Structure 1
Amino acid sequence: MKPFLYELAETLYKNYRPLDALTVIFPNRRAVLYFRKHLSVFLERPTFAPRLITIEDFIADLTELKVPDKLELIHRLFKTHFELLKKSPETASEPFDKFYFWGDMLLRDFDEVDKYLVNPGQLFQDLSHQKELDSSFDYLTDEQREFLKTFWGSFEEHLTGNKRKFLTVWNQLFSLYTRFGQALLAEGLAYEGMLHRHVAENLSEGMAQRVKGKSLVFAGFNALTKAEEKIMSFFVDRGMANIYWDLDEYYVNNNTQEAGKFFREYQQHPVLGKTFSKDIPSHFTAVLQSGKDAGQPKSIRVFGAAQPVGQAKVMAQVLREQLAAGIDPEDTLIVLPDEKLLLPVLHGLSADVEKLNITMGFPVSSTPLYNLVELLIEMQIGARHDQFNHRQVLALLGHPYVVAADAAVANAKRKEILSNNWVHVHRNFLASAVPLHRLIFTMADANIIGYLQDIVMEIGRMTGITTFDKEYAFHFVKLLNRMEDVMGNDMEEEHSPSTSEEEAPARTRTKSVVLKSFLRLFRQLIQAYKIPFTGEPLKGLQVMGVLETRNLDYKNVFILSLNEGAFPSSAGKGSYIPFNIRRAYSLPTVEHQDAMYAYLFYRVLQRAENVFLFYNAETDVLGQGEMSRYLQQLMYESGLHLEKKILHNPVQPTPITPITVEKNEDVMQTLARLSEGNSMFRGLSPSALNTYMECRLRFYFRQVARIREPDAVEEDLDARILGNFLHDVMEHFYKRLREQKKSKHIEAADFDHAGLRIDQLIDEVFIKAYGLEPGKAVVYEGQRLVVREVVKRFAHRIIEMDKAYAPFTMEAVEQEGMLYQVPIGKPPGHVLLSGKIDRVDRKDDVLRVIDYKTGKDKLDFDSVESLFVRDGKRNKAAFQTLLYALLYRANASHRGTRIVPGLINRMNLFDDDFKFGLKVGREYVTDVDPLLPEFEQRLKITLEELFDIETPFDQTTDPEICRNCPYQGICYR
């Protein structure tokens, strides 16, 4: 079958001379390209071509008004909105980023009101009256009002206040529409609908003179706006224009077919009706005229597949088979109603299609550069006092562009941040000679657009990236430049930096607000921004969205996503104008959209010979996935024969089998090395043994397989962070005290000025931990402030108790090198234990082995046996402290002393009667020696089990233990 544009070219070539006196107007630019291609077939010698333009360009040529881009229009609308409502106390003006969404909706409504030549004053008055009724709340019964009062105290007052605020916006819509139009007109500007109304309402003989001497042809139109309808009628009525409709008898002559809705209306039009031929073409149900299938109806095959990606895979397979059978790629079209399937489709086609043309743009929001820009803005939002939050810093250092600039520098800095657990990272640490790194890790201040422009342009200059990345950078710079042109001054007004130190906090808050606003606006703008694919539009297999198919015909057509919600789409655009008023004023409704898309569906099929339709055969709980109504109409109403296949790929859930690691020779050798006290392995620590008793498999992952736990900066205020800081502060305090005194003997007077020293030590520890600038005052805010206050309180409480306990001898602080060999009845014959004891002090005959605990550790345990029971209830802290006592007893020579193990823990530290010692049942442990024989015997049994080749490493049976395990991703617990 001949394409519509081919038939049109043939008709115009025969009936119009000279061709350059002809202007042909199409719905879109792609039709222009294809018409030019078809017209060239009939031209035997070089000649001047007719003028080929779109309807938008034709109407724009009839006026001097110009249409700015959407960003500028919405920004101008925002300014008009602000001026209009600034005197109204109920409606404080929103910032531009929050207005953008509503402004876009308003602009769309204004555009439709004008394109459909609706009386704006009457419409907005009716709209205001309806909203006034909707907001009156008069329909509430007394009982409902009383019920609402329980939640909303001054119910009537709130009703009145909210009603005023609500109605003010609706009442001002006509004023906003009018003032906005006047402001644009004063500068020779208009939005598209306003321009169309201006032309349609000012049609005159003078305007007709603009196209004098030209014959006009309107080709391939369907759903016309009232303005387009009036403009086309004006020229047709004067004999200056003709219309060629792209239609089919199948849906035009069937009153129940929504695809022909608009054509049936135009047939009744006093002017447009005359342009319809009596003989409407019947291509849709016609038999094929040529080829091996001549005399046969078109071939239509329907494929149901599981999920959208399944459709893409099946389509690629079917296309591969058809290409092998000899179909022409240049006469083949793939239609994607759901643009999210573009990448899966391209992935499936990559190896089978030599040339490909894609009419849809690639969403900028899916590019790595968009992700980078988001991170940059978020990092600047969270920046405080020349420091950046670790989350954005780590993400940026791992970003492909930052790594491509210098991988060694990026990885080294990531490693240091993680190892030091820096929640905030100073920009001096991030300073680098690498140009991209240097630009990224600077303070952006108010000029966020300039900051981003510098970075994106530097990325565009890099050599280690692809041409795609350079293309992304080019389009991002264009967008940023446009944002700067339209709203750069507004951002500077919002954030004018002050110079006084007193205003610095306020300046930081203002900057954060401005950047958050910019990020919100940037995200909204980027959603509609797409990067066009470059290529030869008339060559190769074509991939298009639904709207791009207008007027185009292909022999082989593949359409995906034929499901309700996708084709036709259910994603209606928001509007200030409700359905009933839209219908009353003949503005587009859902029925209008469905009729338009129905036409596009049948139109792309009507001249096709081989049709392949794909839908998602799996319906979800919300009904999504139901077969498209268009496809069902085709199956049950068309009378055409359809081959239907449903391809199932059932997913059989694989049961999660328990993970067990048997001990082989390699494992046993690794275990043996753990007991060898060399430079790499210092034996088994108390924490490692705790891990083994909780979960043998976790012990294997960590100690044997040496699988590193995921690196992450702990930002939350957990026990580990507090513990590290408290340990460091108390270690420095007592070590310096012993150095100053040159003695281990501690007296009460030594604590007289301890508070000041503790504060200084906290500063030192923070400077080291967070890589801050030495000698510079530490700024405490957020988590740091909380950590400092908690550690300070703990440290002061410990000092207070120590002062009361003095005099005593501080035997050890953070004592390392405590080793002890436990003999076992399995090879290698003994196991080396090692540990680092927080603190050991002595008074009289009492030697206290103390462990600092900032978690919720308890002091009591039922018995020594309970410490070796494998469940989540065992007291790990008590086990660890008893093991420290065993290590110290084995290493120290304090004869005649009683070793008393104990915890200084968060839960009990601030009790008035706090005692640090452990308790067995209700009795305090005043001497560890009676407990050690049983403890050591049970420890020996545990170690023999660990070194038993027949006992595998298996998972714990207690799911509570798995809750915070770093290896959850391996076990799927």
Structure 2
Amino acid sequence: MNPFLKDVAKDLVAKFGQNLQDCAIVFNNKRPTAYLQKHLADIYQKPFWSPSFYTVSEFFAEATPLKIADHYTQFFALYDCYIQLLKNEGIEKLPSIAKFHNIARIILGDFSQIDNDLVDANRLFTELEDIAVINQQFDFLTAEQKAFLSQFWQSYSEGKFKKQQELFIRMWHRMPLLYNEFHQQLKTKDFITMARLYKNIGEGTNEIDFTAKYTGKKLVFIGFNALSKAEAKAFKRWQDEDKAIFYFDTDSYYLEDEMQESGLFLRRNLKQIGLINQLSNETGFIKTSPRAVNVFKVQGQTAQAKIVNELLAKEKELILNNQAITSTAIILADESLLIPLMQTIPSTIEDKKIDVNITMGFGLANSSLYGLADLWLTVQSELSAKKTIKYQTAEAFLSHPLTGISEIMRPKIIDALIKEQLAEIPYQRLTRQGGLLAKFFEPID
């Protein structure tokens, strides 16, 4: 069994030969690029001009002269538009930017989904009470979804609105105006959201014809699975225009069996959208390849990560024998186990370095830096209430790895606080220690 990307590399070389540099290869993310480059180099066995590699977001960004708005640019633009709408309605009590932040995340997510799925926002944000209208305008919904939508809106027309219902209706009425004003304000500042760009590309209204140079099936999309409606429409159009070809990682085990959820989006791509896989869809390695499954009993979440070091004995032997490890993957169901796992795997074995390729994000909320910042906010909250610090908060600071307190000083300070038997410590008791403690526990104005 060859790796998927190796089969892709062989097929690309067979199709394009020495003209591969004229192609654009698009992945869903950056991770596979290095592997495909390695397979291409192994096949060519000589220097060659590399094709251009893109993530799908990078490639789509070529379709506009506007800048892609990041989350905070979108947030502040949305807040300005929302406040202006409230002022136009004569509302005097305006929400602060802090209170608006949580609802802004929901609104921005909804706007993004509207654009990615090519939904008409003005039609969406209407009060639908007639089931006939729902059936006509939203034929893509299931019967259960249509019934729920009809019941939802009818419940608002049965009797007097409650206060929460009235607020919801007002917000619902603002949505089409807010949606249009939000995108217009971004455009006046030379910005566009990635989702709106997807919509423009899907509908063929993007400013730049960025795919013109790829006629002759030189636009290569590899490894895609779930597609938004905008992506699906654009991909099918480019395929019909003889610009794009597609490589899907399929296996007959889940592709042919309708009950297998793993093949849901691939079946949709191949059968409903009509995209053509350049590789065979008949391969069936899952059913035919022998494999052993071992289950280990451990106590607790962290122990799952700790046992990994014992399971890598074969890989350690390969490292000691200067052999490359290319077929071992560690898959975590819980991303919070990444740090315990990295602490478990040694960085070297007998002076031989171990290179680990981490292909998952590390959330800021899991970092020590975030923990220290959150602890400082807790300190300021306690100081604003009583001008004292809880013992548990002080201990958490002293034990934090980024505070830089030495192993000699830490137990001395903790022992002194324990002897004083204070559940709540006056902040001056801590600031007089000087250094970082003075800065960390000093109240802000």
User: Aligning the two structures, in what range does the TM-score lie when normalised by the shorter sequence?
Assistant: 0.7 to 0.9
Query: How many angstroms apart in 2 are the aligned matches of 1:222 and 1:422?
Result: 55
Match status 1:245 vs 2:248: yes
- Whether the 8 Å contact between 2:253 and 2:287 is mirrored in structure 1 is no
1:133–1:277 distance in 2 versus 1, CA, 3 Å: same
The residue number in structure 2 matching 1:669 is none
The residue number in structure 2 matching 1:332 is 328
Which amino acid letter does the alignment assign opposite residue 439 of structure 1? K
Query: How many angstroms apart in 2 are the aligned matches of 1:12 and 1:417?
Result: 69
The residue number in structure 1 matching 2:96 is 95
- Whether the 8 Å contact between 1:62 and 1:207 is mirrored in structure 2 is yes
The residue number in structure 2 matching 1:211 is 213
Query: How many angstroms apart in 2 are the aligned matches of 1:368 and 1:349?
Result: 19
The alpha carbon displacement at 1:68 in A equals: 2.7
Match status 1:181 vs 2:183: yes
Tell me which of 216, 230, 240 is aligned to 1:227.
Answer: 230
Which amino acid letter does the alignment assign opposite residue 71 of structure 1? Y
Which amino acid letter does the alignment assign opposite residue 325 of structure 2? P
Tell me which of 159, 170, 173 is aligned to 1:171.
Answer: 173
- Whether the 8 Å contact between 1:90 and 1:164 is mirrored in structure 2 is no
- Whether the 8 Å contact between 1:19 and 1:50 is mirrored in structure 2 is yes
The residue number in structure 1 matching 2:291 is 299
Which amino acid letter does the alignment assign opposite residue 200 of structure 2? H
1:277–1:396 distance in 2 versus 1, CA, 3 Å: closer
Query: How many angstroms apart in 1 are the aligned matches of 2:310 and 2:394?
Result: 44
Q: Cα deviations across residues 239-269 of structure 1 (Å, max 9, x unaligned)?
A: 1222222212222222333322333333345
- Whether the 8 Å contact between 1:22 and 1:216 is mirrored in structure 2 is yes
Tell me which of 313, 318, 326 is aligned to 1:320.
Answer: 313
The alpha carbon displacement at 1:70 in A equals: 2.0
The residue number in structure 2 matching 1:588 is none
Which amino acid letter does the alignment assign opposite residue 58 of structure 2? D
The residue number in structure 2 matching 1:4 is 4
Which amino acid letter does the alignment assign opposite residue 119 of structure 1? D
SS at match of 2:444: coil
- Whether the 8 Å contact between 1:115 and 1:226 is mirrored in structure 2 is yes
1:52–1:403 distance in 2 versus 1, CA, 3 Å: closer
1:433–1:117 distance in 2 versus 1, CA, 3 Å: same
Match status 1:439 vs 2:442: no
The alpha carbon displacement at 1:418 in A equals: 6.2
The alpha carbon displacement at 1:78 in A equals: 2.7
The residue number in structure 2 matching 1:266 is 269
The residue number in structure 1 matching 2:73 is 72
1:180–1:321 distance in 2 versus 1, CA, 3 Å: same
1:418–1:79 distance in 2 versus 1, CA, 3 Å: farther
1 or 2, which has the higher helix percentage? 2
The alpha carbon displacement at 1:57 in A equals: 1.0
1:89–1:428 distance in 2 versus 1, CA, 3 Å: farther
Q: Which runs of 5+ in 2 are unaligned?
A: 130-148
Query: How many angstroms apart in 1 are the aligned matches of 2:269 and 2:366?
Result: 42
Which amino acid letter does the alignment assign opposite residue 13 of structure 1? V
Identity %: 25
1:42–1:444 distance in 2 versus 1, CA, 3 Å: same
TM-score (normalizing by structure 2): 0.78
The alpha carbon displacement at 1:29 in A equals: 0.7
- Whether the 8 Å contact between 1:219 and 1:244 is mirrored in structure 2 is yes
1 or 2, which has the higher strand percentage? 1
- Whether the 8 Å contact between 1:218 and 1:244 is mirrored in structure 2 is yes
Q: Which runs of 5+ in 1 are unaligned?
A: 139-155, 288-296, 446-973
The residue number in structure 1 matching 2:46 is 45
The residue number in structure 1 matching 2:285 is 284
SS at match of 1:49: coil
The alpha carbon displacement at 1:236 in A equals: 1.6
- Whether the 8 Å contact between 2:23 and 2:52 is mirrored in structure 1 is yes
SS at match of 1:53: strand
Structural mapping, 1:926-941, within 5 Å = none
Q: Cα deviations across residues 500-520 of structure 1 (Å, max 9, x unaligned)?
A: xxxxxxxxxxxxxxxxxxxxx
1:73–1:421 distance in 2 versus 1, CA, 3 Å: same
Match status 1:375 vs 2:382: no
Which amino acid letter does the alignment assign opposite residue 267 of structure 2? R
Structural mapping, 1:589-628, within 5 Å = none
Q: Cα deviations across residues 808-863 of structure 1 (Å, max 9, x unaligned)?
A: xxxxxxxxxxxxxxxxxxxxxxxxxxxxxxxxxxxxxxxxxxxxxxxxxxxxxxxx
Q: Cα deviations across residues 616-671 of structure 1 (Å, max 9, x unaligned)?
A: xxxxxxxxxxxxxxxxxxxxxxxxxxxxxxxxxxxxxxxxxxxxxxxxxxxxxxxx
- Whether the 8 Å contact between 1:28 and 1:55 is mirrored in structure 2 is yes
SS at match of 1:243: strand
Structural mapping, 1:670-681, within 5 Å = none
- Whether the 8 Å contact between 1:397 and 1:411 is mirrored in structure 2 is no
Q: Cα deviations across residues 886-918 of structure 1 (Å, max 9, x unaligned)?
A: xxxxxxxxxxxxxxxxxxxxxxxxxxxxxxxxx
The alpha carbon displacement at 1:40 in A equals: 0.9
Q: Cα deviations across residues 306-331 of structure 1 (Å, max 9, x unaligned)?
A: 55455445655444367669996332
Query: How many angstroms apart in 1 are the aligned matches of 2:304 and 2:394?
Result: 39
Structural mapping, 1:383-422, within 5 Å = 383=383, 387-391=387-391, 392=393, 395-396=396-397, 399-402=400-403, 404=405, 408=409, 411=412, 415=416, 419=420, 421=422
- Structure number with larger C-alpha Rg: 1
The alpha carbon displacement at 1:286 in A equals: 6.3
1:233–1:417 distance in 2 versus 1, CA, 3 Å: same
The alpha carbon displacement at 1:413 in A equals: 9.4
The residue number in structure 2 matching 1:201 is 203
Q: Cα deviations across residues 737-763 of structure 1 (Å, max 9, x unaligned)?
A: xxxxxxxxxxxxxxxxxxxxxxxxxxx
- Whether the 8 Å contact between 1:398 and 1:411 is mirrored in structure 2 is no
The residue number in structure 2 matching 1:190 is 192
Query: How many angstroms apart in 1 are the aligned matches of 2:186 and 2:207?
Result: 26
RMSD: 3.8
Query: How many angstroms apart in 2 are the aligned matches of 1:195 and 1:439?
Result: 46
- Whether the 8 Å contact between 2:29 and 2:56 is mirrored in structure 1 is yes
